[in-house]
Structure 1
Amino acid sequence: MRFGIWALVHGSRGTFHDPEEPFDASWDRNRRLVLEAESLGFDSTLIAQHTANPYDDDWDELEAWTASAALAALTQRIEIITAVKPPLYHPVILAKMAQQIEHVSGGRFGINLVNAWNRAEYEKAGIDFAEHDERYAYGQEWIAVVDALLRGERVFHRGRHFQIDGFQIRPSDSFRARPSIYVGGESQPAQELVARHGDVWFINGQSLENVARLIANARSLPRRGEPLGFGLSAFVIARPTAAEAEDAFNRLVALSAQDAEIRARQRANTDPAVVMKHSQVPQNRPTIGTNGGTAAGLVGSYDQVAERMRAFHAAGIELFMLQFQPFEAEMRRFAAELMPRLR
């Protein structure tokens, strides 16, 4: 069982109107956050990629790939996982960048391949935003090229989108076969992509039953090489008692009511074909956090949350990518109370 944190690339992960966590998506905050997470024993950090803040483009947004290179140089142990949207980078350029960060980190780097959901981010920049399945078809070809390049192969490729004529990356990876490849998305094209090229599939926060079903389906798909690993995104609210946790949850729910206009704008910019937007919200209960957030059910007493995490682990989840609010204080609480129970 491994524990990771979502970097605060566009500020708070729960509500944007929390007096205990003023908006701050700066490099300085994220640097301090990841360094502290490493010192507390967290294993990974996930740095989402957006070229503009997906909630309000007047707000700050951390640039993922330059920040990851810097974090790779500053840290000693924690894994750096950086999201990438394939249409934003030619596969040769991205593979070269990824290989460099792998060397800077000493073999601690991972790519998180994601299918974009924020239409406005593309269209305002004049970048084509293809339909859902076409984006995955593009991603399949893109990651096939990146995968081969990261393995040090001399790549000859003739495809619909790319023509590569004997390109090879040097230096090759001296730490392992290649950096790790994580894949997000829950549609059938996403599952087929991760089965072919991914090492770990990131699943959005949702019920144990749904997660077990998704894992079983992914394991049934044709695959070569090592067995597929699984990660889960989740927002944690843990307290000494379940009643205290519920009070903390209700505080964030009440504050999030002030985010209504922001969330409406986000929904308007979201591709309705994205499966995540249909699967992550349980009935009759609000959620806090992104990528499913509290829909994973990690709200309760320390012992209750630990038991639920053990159940997800038994179903196949190896890496928990966690969110908190206020982030730093609750991250410390998790390290002090949950890590000893789970390790």
Structure 2
Amino acid sequence: MRNVVTVNDNTVKSNPIRDSANKLKLSIFGVNGTGASFTHHPDRFSGDWDAIARLAKRADQLGIEGFVSASRWRAFGGDGHYSGDFMETFTWAGAIAAITERISIISTLPISLLNPAFVAKAEATVDIISNGRAGMNLVCGWFPPEFDLFGVEMQEHNDRYGYADEWMEVFDRLWSADSSFDLKNAHFDVKNALSQPRPLQSRPVLLNAGGSPRGRQFAAQHAEVAFTIPDDPDPRAVKARVAEYREEARQKFGKEIQIWLSAYVVQKDTTAEAEAYAQDYIVTQGDDIAVADLIEANIPNAKTMPPEKMAEMSYEFKAGYGGYPLVGSASDIAHRMSELSEAGVDGLMLVWLDYENGLEKFASEVLPRLEEAGLRAPATPV
């Protein structure tokens, strides 16, 4: 069922992450700051507002379905590190909404740190400004310094998801209720609650990347888009993982969900050039100190992991925050994207080291190949 909204000028709008007819949907991640690569390479995205605004408008023109922020309240790698230079995601989303026409604008937020009453009002504001293109990428929070910043005690992994389930109960009531209500559960006791102004969508598009069994259950229950990170990049392994996610949503909650992957793009004229460029920015100029900080905070048993596994994980984070590798020529990349679609992947959330030049090269050389393969239709003018 299409979740469309009627706005003040009586035109009908829809949220493209939910409603796009493209077989393989696309979004861009990390575009409220310095991107998703951990490197000292000079091509790393600047993250200044002018560059972000240009990128948003170009993605909108190209028919890219989503523009997705990263939630970052404290930097990895110490005070002043570039990984902390990310704009607050709802303020950013309102600004992006005002300069675009059709792209879905996704605010990433740490459920454990933000009250659902604030989030309901902030997201409704973005929904109104965007004429119904708002969405949220839900994370439970996992970086201890961010909990310290907010003065909140970080719960154990499964307990954070239990809190998140009850957070969603409050948020969904605030989003949909037309009159005030009381609601009490184990973590919340809200009285005479109501959120105004009223949003346009019946529910914002919700994304989640929970990878643990408890995280997958949360995504299956609450989200429309679940991100998976396959242990093996082989398309057969991806297909099996996608099937697991879909089946969980169907069996436990009787619903269909989209399954997406995050991916980093390194596109050059030849495969050899792309591999050499990746080696330069990931290995030669990679930010090992920041990534070590990230891994230690994110992986509880990091210090006991085999060195080769640690090296592999470090490489993936430096490359593009652990995404699927799309490295090679335009033909290579289009072929891998086609394989992922055949494996059942509904969408890809893309990052580049140099977002603006990377997107332009992708648009001129990869998108036409995806159109020829029947995975995407040519973008209509905005």
Fold agreement, TM-score > 0.5: yes
Q: CA deviation at 1:250?
A: 1.8
The residue that corresponds to 2:27 in the other structure is: 4
Q: How does 1:12-91 map to 2 (within 5 A)?
A: 12-21=35-44, 24-59=46-81, 60-91=85-116
Q: Note the alpha carbon deviations across 1:17-73, whole angstroms, 9 max, x for none.
A: 11233x633333322322222233322111011122334331333221211111112
Matched, 1:265 2:265: no
RMSD: 2.7
Give percent identity, aligned residues only: 28
Please, which of 118, 124, 127 is the counterpart of residue 99 of structure 1? Answer: 124
Matched, 1:219 2:252: no
Residue 325 and residue 131 in structure 1: after superposition, are their counterparts in 2 closer, same or farther (change >3 A)?
same
| Paired amino acid for 2:277 | A
Q: CA deviation at 1:171?
A: 4.2
Residue 282 and residue 268 in structure 1: after superposition, are their counterparts in 2 closer, same or farther (change >3 A)?
closer
Alpha-carbon separation, structure 1, partners of 2:338 and 2:296:
37
Residue 316 and residue 147 in structure 1: after superposition, are their counterparts in 2 closer, same or farther (change >3 A)?
farther
Q: CA deviation at 1:319?
A: 1.9
Q: CA deviation at 1:189?
A: 0.9
Please, which of 139, 161, 177 is the counterpart of residue 187 of structure 2? Answer: 161
The residue that corresponds to 1:338 in the other structure is: 366
TM value normalised by structure 1:
0.87
How many residue pairs get matched?
A: 335
Residue 153 and residue 218 in structure 1: after superposition, are their counterparts in 2 closer, same or farther (change >3 A)?
farther
Moved more, 314-323 or 203-212: 203-212
Q: Structure 1: any 5+ residue segments left out of the alignment?
A: none
TM value normalised by structure 2:
0.79
For the residue of structure 2 that corresponds to 1:164, the secondary structure is strand
Residue 128 and residue 27 in structure 1: after superposition, are their counterparts in 2 closer, same or farther (change >3 A)?
farther
Q: Note the alpha carbon deviations across 1:261-306, whole angstroms, 9 max, x for none.
A: 22222233335279xx99x98969943433323xx23112222211
Matched, 1:238 2:263: no
Residue 39 and residue 308 in structure 1: after superposition, are their counterparts in 2 closer, same or farther (change >3 A)?
same
Moved more, 308-317 or 189-198: 308-317
Please, which of 103, 115, 134 is the counterpart of residue 159 of structure 2? Answer: 134
Residue 264 and residue 167 in structure 1: after superposition, are their counterparts in 2 closer, same or farther (change >3 A)?
same
For the residue of structure 2 that corresponds to 1:3, the secondary structure is strand
For the residue of structure 2 that corresponds to 1:87, the secondary structure is coil
Conserved 8 A contact 2:31-2:68: no
Q: CA deviation at 1:8?
A: 3.5
Residue 139 and residue 273 in structure 1: after superposition, are their counterparts in 2 closer, same or farther (change >3 A)?
farther
Alpha-carbon separation, structure 2, partners of 1:82 and 1:135:
20
Q: Structure 2: any 5+ residue segments left out of the alignment?
A: 1-23, 372-382
Residue 159 and residue 297 in structure 1: after superposition, are their counterparts in 2 closer, same or farther (change >3 A)?
same
Residue 113 and residue 201 in structure 1: after superposition, are their counterparts in 2 closer, same or farther (change >3 A)?
same
* Dislocated runs of 4+, deviation >6 Å: none
| Paired amino acid for 2:124 | Q
Q: Note the alpha carbon deviations across 1:148-190, whole angstroms, 9 max, x for none.
A: 332336554221101233533344343x421111112201111
For the residue of structure 1 that corresponds to 2:145, the secondary structure is helix
Q: CA deviation at 1:226?
A: 4.5
Conserved 8 A contact 2:120-2:174: yes
Matched, 1:185 2:213: no
For the residue of structure 2 that corresponds to 1:88, the secondary structure is coil
Conserved 8 A contact 2:269-2:330: yes
